[in-house]
Amino acid sequence: MLEYFDLSKSTYMYWQQRLDRPNKDEQVEKKILDIRKDNPNYGYRRMTAMLKRLGYVINKKKVQRLVQKLKLQVTSFSRKTRKYSSYKGTIGRVADNKINRNFKVEKSYTYITTDTTEFKYLEKDKSGNYQVKKLYLNPYLDMYNGEIISYEISKQPTLKPIIKALDKAIDVTSINKG
C-alpha cells in the first residue's frame, strides 16, 4: 500500500502516531463553539476578546486558526465604508421636470443646463509636501448643440460663481439672439 501511494514507512508511522495524540485544543474548541452558538456574528477578534474575558490566555492567531479549522468564519459581516455625502434631503422648492429627458432641441438657447463639478488636484506647499486641493467648475450648456455658453471656476462651491456664470450666459444669449 505504501508503494502504491509512493509514501515512505517513516512518514506513515509519523502520521499514525500523530493521530493517536489527544487534541490539546479540544477545550478551547468547545468554548469557541459555545460562544458561536450564542453569538453567530462574532468573528475571531471578538471571539478572542470573549475567551480572554472568560480567563483563557490565547493568541488571536490561534483563535483565527481554530475558527478556520472548525469552518466558523463569519460571512455576513461587511465593514461599513461610507463616503461623505452632504445630501440633507430635499431643501427648498424643486423645479418641475420640463425637459423630461427630451434633449433634442430644434432651436438654440431653448434649453440651457448647468451643473457643478468638483475636481481634485495636488498642490505643493512651502515645505515641499503635496496637498489635495479642490476646484469647482460651473458650466452653462446649450442643449441644442452641446456648446458651453459660459463657465466659472472657483475654489469653493458657493452661489457667487454660479451667478457669475449665469450672468455671462445671459449676456451671450442676449447678444446672439438680438
Domain boundaries, the chain: 2-70, 112-176
Q: What angle do CA 178, 137, 123 make, to 5 degrees?
A: 145
pLDDT, one tens digit for every residue, the chain (178 residues): 778 888 898 988 888 888 888 888 999 999 999 999 998 889 999 999 999 999 999 999 999 999 999 998 887 766 677 777 777 787 788 888 888 887 788 888 888 899 999 999 999 988 888 889 999 999 999 988 889 999 999 999 999 999 999 999 999 888 876 6
DSSP state of 47: H
Q: How long, in residues, is the chain? A: 178
Q: 162: helix, coil or strand?
A: helix
Report pLDDT for 58.
Answer: 94
Query: Global pTM?
Result: 0.47
Q: How many angstroms from the chain centroid is the CA of residue 13?
A: 52
Count Cα atoms within 13 angstroms, Cβ side, for 103: 7
